[in-house]
Amino acid sequence: MNIEETVEQILAEFEKDKNAANYIWGQAYERALTEIDASLKARSVAFAHTVLYGRRLQLRESPDSLEAKQETVALDVAIQRLRSLSWPSSSAGYSLVASK
């Protein structure tokens, strides 16, 4: 399964079970933070960015929901933390996403 298929599967899971969505993006985020293999770190961070941004877009559909607002804040914090992992070193990790 390639990254696009994986993202589509995750988004489908979000739609099926909105309560599982937080768990799924949390898994991707945690994996990116804890990946110790340098050859996989950039890919894990890029994948987590994709999952978190996808979930954030879904939450825009419920702008008045308190739960959506709280989760959006959590996503913003997680995205900022991922940026701090990827920006200082270089943008080399993002070339993995573009080139697959």
Give the model confidence (pLDDT) of 3-43 as tens digits.
Answer: 667 666 666 665 566 556 677 888 899 999 999 998 899 99
Closest CA to 58 of 15, 10, 3, 6: 15
Distance, in Å, from the CA atom of 29 to the CA atom of 95, rounded to the nearest integer, reads 19
Radius of gyration of the chain (CA): 14
Q: Which of 96, 9, 2 is nearest to 51 (CA)?
A: 9
Tell me the residue type at 96: L
Q: What is the pTM of this model?
A: 0.65
Higher-pLDDT residue of 22, 82: 82
Nearest alpha carbon to residue 25 among 3, 47, 40: 47
Parent domain of 85: 3-99
**Across all residues in the chain, what is the average pLDDT?**
77
Work out how many domains the chain is built from and give that number: 1
- Kindly report the backbone phi and psi dihedral angles of residue 90, in degrees, each rounded to the nearest multiple of 5, phi listed first: 170, 180
User: Which residue carries 């890029």 as its tokens?
Assistant: 46
Q: Give the percent of the chain with pLDDT over 70.
A: 64
Task: Name the DSSP class of 89.
Answer: T
Q: Copy the structure tokens of residue 19.
A: 């309560």
